[in-house]
Amino acid sequence: MRYSKQRNLILNILRENPVHPTAEWIFEKAREEMPGIGVATVYRNLNALVEAGEIERISGLDGVDRFDGNHMPHYHMKCNTCGRLYDLEPESQESLARMEEVIRETFPTEAVGIKLNTMLLKGTCKQCSCGEPM
């Protein structure tokens, strides 16, 4: 994949901001550094980065795609109260292997493709359950 200034900027924004942003959020951030960038350019580059496996697309959250630049295997948790999306890092490779084993036991087929980065759990985050401000 060829990298342009725009594509590098978008990738850097994602890797420096682990907030699982939307394309619109990325567009606004990109405009701060590159005022002439267009929204179509951002969408086109996000799609190219997803296809190349450089970033992950997280779909199904309130009808809006979010993007993740974290390449390490991990899960996601969405807070039902504040709506934030958190990375849940596994404690070890053994915990990842155990999760895959549970999935394969539940869906015993060779056709199951496991993408842990897209696994989404829902619950209430620590700040919301404790009543602490964010």
Residue 131: inside a domain, yes or no? no
Residue 114 scores a pLDDT above 80: no
Residue 31, burial from CB neighbour count under 10 angstroms (0-12, 13-18, 19+): middle
Region 97-103 average pLDDT: 76
Which 3 state secondary structure label does DSSP give 116? helix
Q: Residue 103 maps to which CATH number?
A: 3.30.1490
- pLDDT, residue 63, reads 82
End residue of a domain, out of 68, 83, 107: 68
pLDDT of residue 7: 96
Say whether both 63 and 86 belong to one domain: no
Would you mind telling me the total number of residues written for the chain in this entry? 134
The CATH number for 25's domain is 1.10.10.10
Indicate whether 134 belongs to any domain.
no
94 and 48 fall within a common domain: no
Containing structural domain, residue 105:
75-125
Of 26-40, 51-65, 104-118, the one with minimum mean pLDDT is: 104-118
Asked whether residue 99 falls in the same domain as residue 46, the answer is no
In a domain, 30, yes or no: yes
Instruction: Report the Cα 92 to chain-centroid distance in Å.
Output: 20
Please, what is the average pLDDT of the chain? 83
- Domain match, 58 and 79 both: no
Amino acid 134: pLDDT? 47
The domain total for the chain is 2
For residue 20, what are the contacts with CB-CB under 8 A and spacing of at least 6?
58, 66, 67, 68, 76, 85
Give the contacts of 75 (CB within 8 A, at least 6 positions apart): 87, 88, 90, 99, 116, 117, 119, 120, 121
Give the integer Cα–Cα distance in Å for 95 and 78.
20
Give the pTM: 0.75
Residue of 71 and 5 predicted with greater confidence: 5
Contact in structure between 70 and 54 (CB atoms under 8 Å): no
Does residue 121 form part of some domain? yes
CA 101 from centroid of its chain's CA atoms: 23
